[in-house]
Amino acid sequence: MKLLVVNGPNLNMLGIREKHIYGDRDYDALCRYIREEAAKLGCEVELFQSNHEGAIVDRIQQAYFDGTEGIVINPAAYTHTSVAILDALKAVQLPAVEVHLSDVNAREEFRRLSYAGMACRAHFIGLGFEGYGRAMAWLVQAKG
Ligand code: DQA
């Protein structure tokens, strides 16, 4: 199965940013974890990170044309603001799963609203890196 994992703004700053919330492992460690879990699942995985909303929309659109069969997405702050990312996920109609490292429901009120989540079939929230592994496994299982 061919998967795309999309990470939004500031996730490239893992290991530096708000360690008490996101932990001290960096983005490279997250990428290694995702690649290892994908290999265990027998999946091909492409990782994409951007700090720019339009670049994320472009990459989701590209997934429609490049044979991607499932999307794991942590839109980071754009979760709570971006109708454009929601619409892109709806446009491509690929199975998508939402991931957040932290428990967004236990933080500030504004983090409870997820636009992208409205186009996602499953949600793994507050599980740290493990959420990405669980999300990929969910997509593999859903494909059957
Ligand atoms: C996040 C939660 C968001 O609210 C925040 O803006 C992030 C990271 C998470 O993975 O916990 O940047 O998506």
Domain count, the chain: 1
Bridge-based pairing state of the strands 70-74 and 44-49: unpaired
pLDDT for the residue numbered 37: 98
Mean pLDDT in the chain? 98
Residue pair 71/95 in contact by the 8 Å Cβ criterion: yes
β-partners of residue 48 are 6
* 76 within ligand 1 shell (Cβ under 6 A): yes
Ligand 1 in contact with 82 (CB < 6 A)? no
- Write out the residue range of the structural domain in which residue 100 sits: 2-143
**Predicted local confidence at residue 58, as pLDDT:** 99
* Each residue's pLDDT tens digit, 20-61: 999 999 999 999 999 999 999 999 999 999 999 999 999 999
Ligand 1 lined by 114 (C-beta under 6 Å): no
Nearest atom in ligand 1 to 10's CA: 12
Distance CA(47)–CA(66), nearest Å, equals: 14
CA angle 70, 39, 6 (to 5 degrees): 40
The pLDDT of residue 140: 98
pLDDT at 77: 98
> What stretches in the chain show pLDDT beneath 70?
none
What lies within 8 Å, CB to CB, of 118 at 6+ separation is: 86
pLDDT value at position 128?
97
* pLDDT computed for residue 108 by the predictor: 97
- Residue 72, pLDDT score: 99
Q: Of ligand 1's atoms, which has the minimum distance to the CA of residue 78?
A: 6
Among all residues, which ones are annotated catalytic? 22, 100
Q: Are 53 and 82 in contact (CB under 8 A)?
A: yes
Residue 23 has a pLDDT of 96
Would you state the pLDDT for residue 47?
Answer: 98
What atom in ligand 1 is closest to the CA of residue 74? 13
Which residue's CA lies nearest to atom 8 of ligand 1? 76
CATH of the domain at 50: 3.40.50.9100
